[in-house]
Amino acid sequence: MRRFAPPAALLAVSILMGWFAHRLGLGSINRPEPGFFPFWICVGLAATSIFLMTRDLRQSPEDEATSQAVFTLAGYRRVLSVMAGTALFGLLLEVSGFLAATFIFMAFCWLVIDRQSLLRGLLISAVASAAAFVLFVKLLNVHFPRGLLGF
């Protein structure tokens, strides 16, 4: 069932995007309009997804068991934590500025995800954020938002 899910998701994406493309106008084969290419890509993607779904439906129970072992609850948690941390970094950049956002992000990674001790986690987060600030802002001159704190 889990191997069945990705092509099903791809099929859903192709139907949705194909519908949007259709609304843009397809034109004709000799004079394609903006929706022409995305629409036919979606048709191709839908056909490939259906092929994959029918093929995966025929898979043996052993294969199914193997595919189910691919994802674990702990794995999901870690993946979602990393995603949340990265998204948090993106959201904080404009608000708190580069240095504070980096420190919060590093502390999140080392304290929440990696479960280091509080003191050690905070210390390496501070050192890593300072090093990143010196490298990217001071040495490489990359422009980052200053944020509410002014740095």
Partner 1 sequence: MGDLFANLYFGFSVSLAPHNLLACFMGVFVGTAIGVLPGLGPVATMSLLLPITIKMEPTAAIIIMAGVFYGAMYGGSTTSILLNLPGEASSVVTTLDGYQMARQGRAGPALAICAWGSFIAGTLGVLGITLMAPALAEMAVKIGPPELVALLCLSFLLVVQFSGGSRPRAAASALLGFLLSTIGLDPVESTPRYDFGTFTLMDGVGFAPLVIGLFGISEVLINLEKSEKMEVFKGRIKGLWPTRQDWRDSAPAIGRGSVVGFFMGILPGMGTIVPPFLSYSLERRISRRPEKFGTGVIEGVAGPEAANNSATAGSMIPLLTLGIAPSAAVAVLTAAFLTHGVQPGPLLITEHPAIFWGVVTSMYTGNALLLLLNLPLVGMWARLLTVPYRYLWPMILLFCGIGAYSVSNNPVDVLLMAAFGLLGYMMRKLNYPGAPLVLAFVLGRLFEEKVRQSLVISRGSYETFIAHPLALLAWIASAILLLYPFFMRGRSAPHFPGEEEE
Could you tell me the sign of the dihedral formed by the alpha carbons of 57, 62, 67, 72, in that order?
Answer: positive
Distance of CA 49 to the CA centre of its chain: 21
- Tell the smallest beta-carbon distance from residue 61 to partner 1 (Å): 18
Which tokens belong to 92?
Answer: 């904080």
Residues 2-61 that bind partner 1 (CB under 8 A): 3, 6-7, 10, 13-14, 17, 20-21, 24, 28, 30-35, 37-38, 41-42, 44-45, 48-49, 51-52, 55
Nearest residue to 17 via CA among 48, 1, 40: 40
Rounded to the nearest whole angstrom, what is the least distance from the CB of residue 110 to partner 1 in the complex? 6
What's the number of CA atoms in the CB half-sphere (13 Å) around residue 15? 8
The CB-of-115 to partner 1 minimum distance in angstroms stands at 10
Cα 18 to Cα 14: distance, rounded to the nearest angstrom? 6
Which one of 58, 119, 143, 150 is in contact with partner 1 (CB under 8 A)? Answer: 143
Which run of H or E residues covers position 38? Answer: helix 36-57
Interaction site with partner 1 (CB under 8 A): 3, 6-7, 10, 13-14, 17, 20-21, 24, 28, 30-35, 37-38, 41-42, 44-45, 48-49, 51-52, 55, 67, 70-71, 75, 78-79, 82-83, 85-87, 89-91, 93-94, 102, 105-106, 109-110, 114, 124, 128, 132, 136, 140-145
